[in-house]
Structure 1
Amino acid sequence: MNGPVEWIAAIGTILAAAMVAADFSRRVTGFGFVLFSIVACLWVYSGLTAPDGMPLAIQNGVLLFINLFGVWQFLISRKKKREIDKAAEIAEQAKEEVAQEQT
């Protein structure tokens, strides 16, 4: 298990994790989950084609569904988008209040 599929999946996993962890925006995080979903498919393929890869395939099959839920939450669900937008407004107000308290 050291072929191009695994390398692409590994690099994609690292990039997706960075996109989600950086939390630049709702859209970037959502596309991080899209990338996670794509590389999970690659890991499932890799696990199914490797002699002892069934645990890897099962793990990434489950992660695929979790990541698809993340895609739904961040890119598709309108209700969740409104909730996140409202939370962002409240967070911005809190940052401003804290900044004013420190001066």
Structure 2
Amino acid sequence: MTYLKLHDNPRARDHATKALEMDSSSVKAYFRRGQANLNMGEAEFAEKDFQICLDLDHNNKAAKLQLQRCGLQIKANKQKEKKLYSGMFDKFARQDRAYSITTL
């Protein structure tokens, strides 16, 4: 938790992973690793960790909340990616049209 408070997310993730190697049913370790992953923009990995938290502890309200945050982040990332690629493909299509007109 100290590394999370210091915003040293890679270290927090690594330590949580080590804790899971010692105790694979540690809800707290999955939660901390999920937090670190989410803070680093890796919402898909965080989502898996928070889901495991809920599988181990169905009443974990904090994990439910974080799982919702992951879903929103994943959705936002997909929209951003879609916008990026659609603009890229539109640009290539315009360039292709311009090239075909100049070669005629």
TM-score (norm. length: structure 1): 0.41
TM-score (norm. length: structure 2): 0.41
